[in-house]
Amino acid sequence: MADESGADGALLQGAAAGDERAFAILVRRHIRAATLLAAQLLGDRDDADDVVQDAFGVVYRQALRFDPARPFEPWFFAIVRRLAANRRIRQARRARLLRLWGHSAPTPSDSSPSGRAEAVLDVAAARGAMTTLPPMQRACFELVAMRDVPVAQVAAMYGISASTVRQHVFRARAALREVIDGSD
């Protein structure tokens, strides 16, 4: 029986051996971060949920092939990133075909995390300020500063070092202060 404090690699081995509780622990442990990552990449919460479900399916099917000596998070988040990229490509192809056939493509709902920057600031000013950030700064800032995702986990999500994440967050904060202070 799986232990809640077990290492991800050991839990995945347990899941490969048929321990459903071990896989459930892995899902609970990583679903929030995976959904946030997919939502950032896709801009739509429903699509993000689908990608995360597919990613856990891949993890379950590939559990026997995973090397437990390697870290789980970079492998898992790479799967999420790949599935999200594939979905974006399919959506772009579908939209292009619909335009060619004379139909308008459906627009995704505005459920992106960047659309929820409701703090003390005026929402429009915050949205405008966030759009001025480079994509990776915006992504790291949203996850660390707005969603309280640990820096190490954001680093694993994007396959970058923790110091790079901290640098992106620092630069994003400085840029946002400059944009918001300049709009007064």
* Domain residue ranges of the chain, discontinuous segments joined by +: 1-108, 112-184
How does pLDDT run across 133-158, given as a tens digit for each residue? 999 999 999 899 888 889 999 999 99
How does pLDDT run across 67-123, given as a tens digit for each residue? 888 899 999 999 999 999 999 998 888 777 777 776 554 554 444 444 343 334 455
Q: What is the pTM of this model?
A: 0.66
Encoded amino acid at 101, one letter: W
Nearest residue to 43 via CA among 138, 115, 104: 115
Radius of gyration of the CA atoms of the chain, in A: 19
Report d(CA 75, CA 69) in Å as an integer. 12
Q: Are 32 and 153 in contact (CB under 8 A)?
A: no
Under 8 Å CB-to-CB from 145, ≥6 apart: which residues?
169, 172, 173
Report d(CA 157, CA 149) in Å as an integer. 10
Mean pLDDT of the chain: 83
At 84 the pLDDT is 95
At 119 the pLDDT is 38
User: In percent, how much of the chain has pLDDT > 70?
Assistant: 80
Give the class (CATH, top level) of 112-184.
mainly alpha
- Asked whether residue 59 carries a pLDDT value surpassing 70, the answer given is yes
CATH of domain 1-108: 1.10.1740.10
Nearest residue to 25 via CA among 72, 84, 70: 72
